[in-house]
C-alpha cells in the first residue's frame, strides 16, 4: 500500500524525517546511541552524526550523553527530544490521514511492476 514518508525541513535547513525519528525511538528504548545504531543496522559514527545534527539544529538538545553507571553511561532523550519526537509523529499521522483517500486512488492506478527505481 502507498504511504507517506514525511521529512520536516526547518527554515534553517535542519531536517527530521523517518530515519532520525526511528533513531530517537531506538535511543530512548536502548539508553545508548551505540545500541540504537546496532539495533538499526547502522554504524555508530553515522548514528552519532545524526543525533549531533539534531542537537545542533535546535536551541535545546534532543539527546544527552549520560556518563558513569554500571554500563559506563549512555544516552537519553531530553524533554525537548521527547517533545520533538511526539510532534513529528503527530504531524506524520495527520499527514497520512489527510492523504489516505488520494493514496488509495493512486495505488489503484499503480503498475504492478514499475521497473527500476531511479
Mean confidence (pLDDT) of the chain: 93
Assigned domain for 49 exists: yes
Tens-place pLDDT, residues 59-76: 999 999 988 767 677 999
Assigned domain for 118 exists: no
Assigned domain for 114 exists: no
The domain that holds 79 is classified in CATH as 1.10.10.10
Nearest to 48 by CA among 59, 37, 39: 37
Assigned domain for 61 exists: yes
Tens-place pLDDT, residues 28-70: 999 999 999 999 999 999 999 999 999 999 999 999 998 876 7
The predicted pLDDT at position 36 comes to 96
The predicted pLDDT at position 67 comes to 85
The predicted pLDDT at position 71 comes to 67
Domain range spanning residue 97? 8-103
Three-state DSSP at 8 gives strand
Assigned domain for 51 exists: yes
Contact in structure between 7 and 22 (CB atoms under 8 Å): no
Task: Report the distance separating Cα 53 and Cα 68, nearest Å.
Answer: 24
Number of domains in the chain: 1
Amino acid at each position: 500500500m502507498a504511504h507517506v514518508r514525511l521529512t520536516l525541513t526547518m527554515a534553517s535547513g535542519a531536517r527530521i524525517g523517518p530515519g532520525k525519528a526511528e533513531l530517537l525511538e531506538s535511543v530512548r528504548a536502548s539508553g545508548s546511541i551505540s545500541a540504537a545504531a546496532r539495533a538499526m543496522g547502522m554504524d555508530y559514527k553515522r548514528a552519532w552524526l545524526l543525533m549531533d545534527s539534531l542537537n545542533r539544529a535546535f536551541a535545546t538538545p534532543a539527546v544527552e550523553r549520560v556518563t558513569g553507571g554500571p554500563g559506563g553511561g549512555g544516552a537519553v532523550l531530553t524533554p525537548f527530544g521527547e517533545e520533538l519526537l511526539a510532534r513529528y509523529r503527530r504531524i506524520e499521522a495527520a499527514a497520512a490521514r489527510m492523504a489516505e483517500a488520494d493514496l488509495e486512488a493512486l495505488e489503484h492506478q499503480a503498475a504492478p511492476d514499475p521497473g527500476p527505481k531511479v
